[in-house]
Structure 1
C-alpha cells in the first residue's frame, strides 16, 4: 500500500497533468497531425514535380552571374536567397525569400545549360505550405500562433514526464495491465480508453520527449543555447557569415569571381548531391556555398565561405562550417531538424516518426475522454437518485 504522502503527491501530479492536458490538447493534436503529414513531404512532392528535371547534356552549367540576371528579370525587385545546383539531370532552382515588409517566398526553375525559364513556384501556397503553417503557428498570425505552439510544446515535456509518474503502477500485480492490452468481450470502453491513453502513452513517451525536445530547440533561443552548452559545445552556436579577407573590390565590368566556384566545387565534391550558392550581401561579405552531402539530410552539410574577390576560403568560428570539423555538441544541434522529422533514420526513421506523431495526436483525444468520464460519471447516478426520491414522495 502506498503512503498518504505518496497518494497526495500522485493527486497533485494528476491535477497538473489534467490541467495542462486540457489547456494544450487542441494545440498538441494539430501539431501532431500536421507533423505526420510533413514527414513525407519530399516523397509526396516527387510525384508531381517533374519540372525539376531536365535532359542531361555534355556541357557546363551557365555561370552564376547569368543565373542571377535571368532570375531577376523574371522576378524583379525581390531578394534572391540562394541558387541550388543539383545533378546533371536537375533544373537550377533560384530561391527568392524576404520576410519584410511582407513574406515573399518563391522559386524559379531554369534549364542549367541554356538558362531557359521552366517554372515559377510559390512556396508559400499549396498543401504543404498549409500544413507547415498549421504546425508552427496554427494558421494564426505569426506573433500569436508561434508563441502558442512553442509554449504548448514546452508544456508537452511536463505532460510526458508527469504522465510517466502516473503510469507507474501502485502495486506490483498491476504491472502487466500497464504494459499490454488485456481486453476481452466484457472490457468496457472506459477501460479501453484508459489503456489506450496510458499504455500507448508509455511506449511513445521516449519518442514524444524527443519530438518535444527538438521542437523546443527550434522554438526557443534560450533552449537552443542551453542544449548546446549542456552537450559540451564551445563554438558560436549561431550562424555566422564571415567578412572578406581582401579589400580589393571586383571590377563590375567583368564577370564576378564567384562564377568560378560552382564548376570547381563539382570537381572537389564529386559525390555531393547539390550546391546552394548565396550571392554576397554587400562588398564586404563572403560568398556562402552549402554543400549537400546526403539526399534529404541537412546535418552533414558543409558550409563553405569564400572571399568574393580572391575566392580564398575563409574559416568560421560557428558550428556551421565543414562537417568534418564538427564536435559532438555541434552535431547534436546540426542533427536537430533531421531528428525532429525522422529523416535521420532514412525511410524507416520517417515511418517511425509518422506513426509516433500519429499516436501523440491520439493522446489529447483519449485524455479528454478520460477527463470527461471522470468529471461526469456521477451525474447520471445523482439524477437517478433524485428521480427515485421524487417518485417515493408522490
Structure 2
C-alpha cells in the first residue's frame, strides 16, 4: 500500500474516531463514572447494613409460607419476587418487585427464627439506585435512555478499535514516545493532554474492550445470542422455568409442600452462601430456588427447579441450571456480569474495573480538549491570515 493510501485511510479512521467520540462523549463519561462507582456497592453498603444480621440460634428457621404471610402483611397487594435464606446469622430478605405500571422494588427483612419484622428498605431509591439509573439510562425514561446507552457502548467498541489503529506508531522511533509520558518543565498542556489521551487509552484499551463487550452482551439480545453461539453454545440461552407435571389426584396439605424445600437444601448444600426461593407463579409452574455458592458472585449459582406438587426435581434445557452441568459457552455467558463489574477477580478485579472505568471517563474529556485545541488552532490561523491580508 502506498504512503498516500495509508495517509488517506488514517485520515478517514481519525475522522470516524473523532465524530463517534464527540457524539458519544457525554454518554460514555456518565456511564463510565457511574460504572466505576457501582463496582464497590456491596463493600460500601456493608458499613451500614447491621439490620441484615441476627443472633444465630439452635432452632429451625421459619417456613416459606409463614414468611410469605408475614411479608404480605407488611407490604400488602404487591408481588413477592423471591425469599432469600442466608446463613444462621443472617436475616431473611423478602424481595418485592413489580415493573408495571411503575417500578416497585422493596425488601422486607425478618428474623429467621421468630419471624419478627426488622426493617423495610426501598431498593429503588438511595445513592446506588441513583447511580444505577444513570448507568443504565442516563436518568431518562427507560425507553429512551437505555437505547442511547446501549448504542453508545456499541459505538465505544469502534472508538477503541479505531483508537488503537491511530495509536500504532508509524516507525520504531515513536514507540517509546507512545508507551510512556515523557514530560518535563517545558512540556505544554496540549502535549500533556495528547499523552493522557493516547498513552492511557492504549494501556486500558484491552480492559475497555472487555467492559464494552460485556456491556453489549447485556444490552442487546442479538449480541448475547451471537456471543453464546460463537463460543460453541448449544442450549437455550434464555432463562426458562419448566412446568410442573399436571396434578391428577387432589392432595390436601396442611401447609404448602414447598415449605420442605429450604430445610432439605440446607442439608444438601452445606457450603452454600444463600438460597433464594421463588414461589410458583400459578398452578402449573415449578418452584425455582437459586443457590448461591460464592459470596458476591453469580456465575456459579445453581438454579434448581422442583415440581410444586411433588417436589420432584426438574431439569431445564436452559444454560441456567446446575453449574456442574454448564459447558464452556454456558460459563462464559454466565460469567458476563461478574466480568463486567470485575467481581470475577475478587477485590483485585474490582479495583481494576474501577480504575479502568475512571480512565475511560477521562478519555472523552481529553479527547474533546484535543479536538478543541486543534479547532481553536485552525481558527487562530485563519484569523491571523486575514489580519496579514
Q: What TM-score, normalized by structure 2, do the two folds share?
A: 0.98
Aligned 8 A contact 1:277 1:287 in 2: yes
What SS is found at the alignment partner of 1:378? helix
Shift of 1:24: 0.3
Runs of 4+ with >6 A deviation: none
Q: What is the CA deviation profile of residues 26-85 of structure 1, one whole-angstrom value per residue up to 9, with x for unaligned ones?
A: 000000000011000000001011100001111000010000011111111110000000
What is the rounded CA distance, in whole Å, between the counterparts of 2:126 and 2:74 in structure 1? Answer: 21
Aligned 8 A contact 1:246 1:310 in 2: no
More divergent stretch after superposition (106-115 vs 372-381): 372-381
What is the correspondence of 1:25-174 to structure 2 with a 5 Å cutoff?
Answer: 25-174=25-174
Count of residue correspondences: 389
What is the rounded CA distance, in whole Å, between the counterparts of 2:79 and 2:250 in structure 1? Answer: 21
Shift of 1:253: 5.5
Shift of 1:387: 4.3
What SS is found at the alignment partner of 1:47? helix
Match of 2:301 in 1: 301
What is the rounded CA distance, in whole Å, between the counterparts of 2:326 and 2:315 in structure 1? Answer: 13
More divergent stretch after superposition (97-106 vs 225-234): 97-106
Match of 2:259 in 1: 259
Q: What TM-score, normalized by structure 1, do the two folds share?
A: 0.97
Q: What is the CA deviation profile of residues 201-244 of structure 1, one whole-angstrom value per residue up to 9, with x for unaligned ones?
A: 01100000000000000000000000000000000000000001
What is the rounded CA distance, in whole Å, between the counterparts of 1:266 and 1:212 in structure 2? Answer: 38
Q: What is the CA deviation profile of residues 293-335 of structure 1, one whole-angstrom value per residue up to 9, with x for unaligned ones?
A: 0000000000000001111000000000000000000000000
What is the rounded CA distance, in whole Å, between the counterparts of 1:171 and 1:356 in structure 2? Answer: 28
Does residue 321 of structure 1 match 2:316?
A: no
What is the rounded CA distance, in whole Å, between the counterparts of 2:248 and 2:297 in structure 1? Answer: 37
Aligned 8 A contact 1:83 1:94 in 2: yes
Aligned 8 A contact 1:249 1:283 in 2: no
Structure 1, unpaired ranges of 5+ = 390-394
Shift of 1:95: 0.2
Q: 1:249 to 1:124 in 2, by over 3 A?
A: farther
What is the rounded CA distance, in whole Å, between the counterparts of 1:256 and 1:121 in structure 2? Answer: 28
What is the rounded CA distance, in whole Å, between the counterparts of 1:152 and 1:19 in structure 2? Answer: 12
Shift of 1:245: 2.5
Shift of 1:183: 1.0
Match of 1:392 in 2: none
Match of 1:334 in 2: 334
Q: 1:102 to 1:252 in 2, by over 3 A?
A: farther
Shift of 1:193: 0.6
Aligned 8 A contact 1:87 1:273 in 2: yes
Match of 1:312 in 2: 312
Aligned 8 A contact 1:29 1:362 in 2: yes
Aligned 8 A contact 1:96 1:107 in 2: yes
Match of 1:219 in 2: 219
More divergent stretch after superposition (282-291 vs 244-253): 244-253
What SS is found at the alignment partner of 1:145? helix
What is the rounded CA distance, in whole Å, between the counterparts of 2:165 and 2:196 in structure 1? Answer: 17
What is the rounded CA distance, in whole Å, between the counterparts of 2:347 and 2:96 in structure 1? Answer: 30
What SS is found at the alignment partner of 2:47? coil
Does residue 204 of structure 1 match 2:204?
A: yes
Q: Give the CA RMSD over aligned residues.
A: 1.3
What is the rounded CA distance, in whole Å, between the counterparts of 2:122 and 2:252 in structure 1? Answer: 32
Q: 1:38 to 1:252 in 2, by over 3 A?
A: farther
More divergent stretch after superposition (321-330 vs 249-258): 249-258
Structure 2, unpaired ranges of 5+ = none
Match of 1:186 in 2: 186
Aligned 8 A contact 1:56 1:89 in 2: yes
Aligned 8 A contact 1:250 1:256 in 2: no
What is the rounded CA distance, in whole Å, between the counterparts of 1:350 and 1:258 in structure 2? Answer: 37
Shift of 1:101: 1.3
